[in-house]
Amino acid sequence: MVRVKPAPQTGPVQSALVGAILGIDAAGHCLALATVFFAGGLAAGLGLATAIFLFSTALITLVLFRFGGFRIALGITQDTTVAILAPAVALIAAAASGPPEAQVATAIAAIGASALLSGLAFWLVGRLGLGRLLRMFPYPVAAGFLASSGVLLVMAALSILTGAQGYGAIAASLATPEGLWGVLPAIAMALALIGALRIWQGSTPVLVIILLFLAGFYAALSWLGLSRAEATALGLLPHLGEGGGLGPGLWMIRLVDWPLLLTIVPTFAAVILLNLIGVLLNTSGVELATRQDADENRELRVTGLGNIVIGAMGGITSYLQGGASIIAARLGVHGGGLVFGHVAVLLVACVFAEWIVAAVPTFVAAGLLMFIGFAMIEDWLIAARHRLVTVDWLIVAGIVAVTIGFGILPAVGVGLGLAVLGFTFGYMRLPVIRQSGDARTHRSTLDRNAAENVYLAENGGAIRVLQLQGALFFGSVEQLIDTLRHSPDAHQSPRAVILDFSAVNTFDSSACAALEKLGNLMQAQNIATHLTGLSPALLAVFTRWGLPIAETAEDVTPGGFRLWPSLDAALEACETALLTKLDTPGETPGETPDFAGLLRQMGRDHPRLSDLMDQMTVLDLNPGDTLIAADDSQADIYFLASGRLAVLLPQRGGPAIRVRSMGPGAVVGELASLLDTPRNANVICETTARVYQLSADTIARLEREDRDLAALLWRLLARSVALKVTQTNALLTRR
């Protein structure tokens, strides 16, 4: 799509002239579409249908200009669904009971019903705010529908020229000299239009070529000495019936065979779908080319209301015309003048529609249809080969092939199926696992002693941590199961798996079945499965399915899941369970060593550790006691011997946030002492605890009197800070 840089705005008169030229082009377009519907036995309604289509184009242009969001917006009766709708209209018109006029009335009613239903769909989608959702319709499927419409328009033009229906009959007619000579002028005109637009841009070349072919036709009639009546008898001009064309009146409502409209409801459904795609594609194209930000839901509502009125009059679905609107924006025209000239030409043509229809040769209308069809095939099938990847282009070609072989309605079904498959496989290719790791890199916020940290660093691979994301359904959960089947560490079998659902937004029943399978697999390998981050909605899906979820270890059933309020809580529990295997020399496995043992671990059995311990004061704390208060300037350092402490970050106007817990062996308050800054958090006792305090005065005395013991202290503090930095980095990586 070429982006348009608006030119300096022209005056109203020049803009009206541009609108008039584009209006003549639109009038030819309306005539060509009417010819598709009202050929053969329906020819008496050709002039009336052309007038209705012209008025529909004028009306939708006025509606879009007055209520739409684009500065320049021209509407037009659309050709996207003509090739689908025309055969169905012809079928029910032929079956209509009553006088011959009933066939025309029923055909107009069917066309109007398709526009009215499309208008209701436009308005409803816009009212519900679903326009952006429809923009997500797979591009290859939309391109396949549009390319198929182009193929059917070409076939409709050939049917008009040969009088044959179906591929076989048309091919047989073209195999005769008479049939071939009958279509050559239309093909020549379509190719001339395509060639001219490759050299010159805009509507002027189209009008010039159409006028040249018209002039050539009447010059040939004069040279051959044929009158218009003789040309009509030969099929060179349209035959509007013995009494001429039909005019508007109440007979149009009275003679409609309304029950027949119900027989083409599937066709209406396909028409609505393609029109929704078409209106959003045109809106997106004009939006991109003119660099405007359009509200697609507003455009849908406005277009929908316009088409409800158009449908009530028997008109065909009409909406924004991409090409003409972009051309007008490039010329920098005045919006009011453009619309005035455009609508004026259309209304004048509407008044003289029957005369225009009778004067335009059949091959000109058919040539315009071929030109539109060839352009759609080139844009959406041939040129798309260079824009799309091979798989996407094959989808386009496949939809076209189904259309040719079986018709557009089966192609719509195939297209929707391909859209669903594309969505499914696309989601299956997206990684369901946002981040994968184990307890060696994903640690809880609980500070542990040196021996425990070393043990977790060596054996943390036994705790798998998988953070999930996006939508979970059968394909993505199978991806999760495959990941768990292949442990990244072949030498360390997992004992626990933590699944974090915090970033999961969609979950369906098929995923529940896959998760049930996952629970059974984990249970067969004696692996505990823990779930965290489940939203109430996801938990409700779990519960409705009947998956075994427990909030306590005692309630976990075989193949069941343990639920935790947070990932940190699950990590802490799994770490604690793994640490029961820790065997510290001289101590009972799983029990907390005494403070002397902890200090030896921290100081690597330094000979003066006992001297440092003699400088400390023992403090016994109860749950809820405050060890350190935020903004306190005291610089004492504390060593936790037993129990647990919590670090709480105060918040203005709200409760404090728990950022870390500390177990035996943790060092507290060293940063404030090292940096000589006030405390930035509260440290509260969570359980009965014993703390060894080293006062700021004692530290200052050691620095003056015992430099070796002071150096040992700073070494311990440096090790403590390094461990905290490592754990913080792991937390940041996890988030």
Contacts of 139 (CB under 8 A, 6+ apart): 388, 392
pLDDT at 327 over 80: no
pLDDT at 1 over 50: no
Query: How far is residue 614 from each of residues 62, 180, 579, 692, measured CA to CA in Å?
Result: 93, 112, 30, 10
- CA–CA gap between residue 325 and residue 299 (Å, rounded): 15
pLDDT (0 to 100) of residue 289 = 60
Start-end of CATH 2.60.120.10 domains in the chain: 603-734
Work out the number of other CB atoms within 10 angstroms of the CB of residue 134: 19
pLDDT at 555 over 60: yes
- CA–CA gap between residue 27 and residue 732 (Å, rounded): 65
pLDDT (0 to 100) of residue 518 = 82
Start-end of CATH 3.30.750.24 domains in the chain: 431-581
Q: What pTM was computed for the model?
A: 0.60
Give the burial string for 639-667 (b: 16+ CB within 10 Å, else e): bbbbbbbbbbeeeeeeeeeeebbbbbbbb
Q: Read out DSSP for 50-85?
A: HHHHHHHHHHHHHHHHHHSS-SS--EEE--TTHHHH
pLDDT (0 to 100) of residue 7 = 46
Domain at 431-581: CATH code: 3.30.750.24
- CA–CA gap between residue 606 and residue 264 (Å, rounded): 92
pLDDT at 598 over 80: no
Q: Is 319 helix (H, G, I), strand (E, B) or coil?
A: strand
Contacts of 303 (CB under 8 A, 6+ apart): 60, 63, 64, 68, 119, 122, 279, 319, 320
pLDDT in tens, 205-255: 777 888 898 899 889 888 988 888 888 777 788 766 555 567 777 777 888
Residue 112 — pLDDT band, cuts 50, 70, 90?
Answer: very high
Q: Which residues pair with 685 in a beta bridge?
A: 645
Residue 317 — pLDDT band, cuts 50, 70, 90?
Answer: very high
How many CA atoms lie within 13 Å of 551's alpha carbon, on the beta-carbon side?
A: 5
How high does pLDDT run on average in the chain? 82
Q: Is 462 helix (H, G, I), strand (E, B) or coil?
A: helix
Most confident of 24-28, 461-465, 477-481: 461-465
pLDDT in tens, 500-544: 988 887 777 777 877 888 888 888 888 888 999 888 888 888 888
With beta carbons less than 8 A apart as the criterion, state whether 674 and 717 touch: yes
Distinct helix (H) and strand (E) counts, the chain? 30, 17
Token output for 650: 């105060």
Average pLDDT on 722-734 reads: 66
pLDDT in tens, 376-388: 888 888 988 888 8
Class of domain 603-734: mainly beta
Question: Regarding predicted confidence, which is higher, 36 or 288?
Answer: 36
In the chain, % helix, strand, coil (3-state, to 5) comes to 65, 10, 25
State which H helix or E strand residue 692 sits in.
Answer: strand 689-694
Residue 488 — pLDDT band, cuts 50, 70, 90?
Answer: low
